[in-house]
A and B are shown apart, each in its own frame.
Chain A
Amino acid sequence: MIAALALAGFVAIALRSPNSDLAETSGLLLDGFWMTLFIWTASCSAGALFAGILVAGDLSGIPALRILARAEITFFRGTPLIAQLYLVYYGAGEISRFLESINLWWIFKSPISCVIIVFVLNTAAYQAHVVAGAIRALPKEQNDAARALGLSARATIFKVLLPQAMIIAIRPLANEVTKMVKASAIASVVTVLDLLGTARMIFNETLDYSFFFIAACVYLILIGTVRIAMEGLEHHLLRHLALTAPGTSRRQAAPIYPA
């Protein structure tokens, strides 16, 4: 399938109209590709860190922290990413005077950093929702047993709850990481030159439609690769569950908790 897509990509390149310069545009597209990769990896990793903070807030005993965390998660999961981006990008421009006075304008001035901020907040909300849901799905006995053993809160979370919650959470998290690759294309609406942004810019100048096809092929190959990598990671991390050992059918492995 990937071979078919790569072939389609070469066909698209071959079919492009003669008034576009291949050397120049392929250089631009390559830069766009690196930009997409950067946006994706930066926002996913920083988002994972911020999601950890959100989960801690969501599960904490302090109502104020819980409300703040839940508000962030609900807001950023319930509104479109592009609306969030407009809100921060154009909104920060409106209050630039105020931001200058507290010395924060430099973050919001550049489109790329605005994009990263919004994407981090967005993916952190989704990731935190998944992880918090997974922790809440664990049987209460786990927490009680850890208490009975005298484990500290930190040990309970990191040695008992989180490893088990990650088993549930890893598939949705992998899906979220894959989704972020596609979401990175939205950066193009605020003049960030990622892969889609470059393709649109070239299209606007040359009206050569094949650049969209080329971008599509690159995204397909990228997402296909990411998906295969995520499946491999999942297979590797869940290898102790013997999900594909002979005699067990998929997802009907030995129970995680002794029944």
Chain B
Amino acid sequence: MVGNLFGQLSLGAGGWGDELLSGLGVTLKLCLVSLPCGLLLGLALAIAQGTHWALLREASSLLTAVLRGIPELLTLLLIFYGGQYALNAVTTSLGLGIVELSAFIAGVATLSLIFAAYSSEVFIGVLRAISRSSLEAAKALGLGRIPTLLHVILPELFRLSLPGLSNLWLSMVKQTALISIIGYGDLLREAYIAASSSGNKLYFYFFACLAYLAITQLSEYAAARVSGRLSRGLS
């Protein structure tokens, strides 16, 4: 069994390499789809915190508090089972029968919502920190609202929020592992299947951990590089 260590990882029928690789792809797909959704929603929540409408303010702060206050696994289960129940209620009342809620959609929804809740905090802090003088200078130059947004606010926002957001990205990569609980075939799920079938549990779980480690270390390095590049020329 020990001699077959590399054979276990081979692609194709004999080894588990192709399943694990597909699991890795699923994990990356989950992260890359959830990231823009989470960013947009987080920005929306941050802006909602600054509006005049008390209802919008309270609703967004309640949503943020709930999403940050319950375990991610519970959020996933709530969305997965609750979503299925809600979907059943809607489709049966419309006479359409049972439509299955894809675990992928539940996973993306969960990851995006959690990312949005935390990133709204980052954005609120950053939006406050964007210097008034930049905005006044833009006004003095006669820039309208859209050009100000595009050329003054957004670059500054991106640069200042990158450290906080990169931490959230790392958390999200690790949270994708939770989706294996509802049986979706991500990296950890494939490792679980491989480990249970072959009995080489230490080997496959260690491999999965190393794969996650590779993703997180690469992300940290990339974020540091981008952050350094963006701060070029600033003291």
Residues 67-90 of chain B, each 1 if its beta carbon lies under 8 Å from chain A, else 0: 011111110011001100100000
Instruction: Using CB atoms, name the residue of chain B closest to A4.
Output: B62
Asked whether any CB of chain B lies closer than 8 Å to the CB of A83, the reply is yes
Question: Which residues of the other chain, A, contact B78 by a CB distance below 8 angstroms?
Answer: 212-213, 216
Question: Which residues of the other chain, A, contact B208 by a CB distance below 8 angstroms?
Answer: 83, 86-87
Contact of A93 among B71, B201, B216 (CB under 8 A): B201
Question: Which residues of the other chain, A, contact B178 by a CB distance below 8 angstroms?
Answer: 80, 82, 186
- Closest beta carbon of chain A to B84's beta carbon, Å: 10
- Closest beta carbon of chain A to B197's beta carbon, Å: 13
Chain B contact surface mostly: helix
Asked whether any CB of chain A lies closer than 8 Å to the CB of B16, the reply is no
Once the chains bind, are A219 and B69 in contact (CB under 8 Å)? Answer: yes
Asked whether any CB of chain B lies closer than 8 Å to the CB of A168, the reply is no
- Closest beta carbon of chain B to A54's beta carbon, Å: 18
* Size category of the binding interface on chain B: 35 or more
Question: Which residues of the other chain, A, contact B224 by a CB distance below 8 angstroms?
Answer: none
Question: Which residues of the other chain, B, contact A83 by a CB distance below 8 angstroms?
Answer: 177, 188, 191, 205, 208-209, 212
Contact of B74 among A74, A77, A79, A216 (CB under 8 A): A216
CA distance A94 to B195 in the complex (A): 10
| Beta-carbon contacts under 8 Å, A212-226 to B | 212-213, 215-216, 219-220, 223-224
Instruction: Using CB atoms, name the residue of chain B closest to A199.
Output: B74
- Closest beta carbon of chain A to B207's beta carbon, Å: 10
Asked whether any CB of chain B lies closer than 8 Å to the CB of A156, the reply is no
CA distance A84 to B71 in the complex (A): 17
Question: Which residues of the other chain, A, contact B77 by a CB distance below 8 angstroms?
Answer: 200, 212
Once the chains bind, are A80 and B202 in contact (CB under 8 Å)? Answer: no
Asked whether any CB of chain B lies closer than 8 Å to the CB of A161, the reply is no
Interface residues of A (CB under 8 A from B): 1, 4, 74-75, 77-84, 86-87, 90-91, 93-95, 181-186, 188-189, 196, 199-200, 203, 209, 212-213, 215-216, 219-220, 223-224
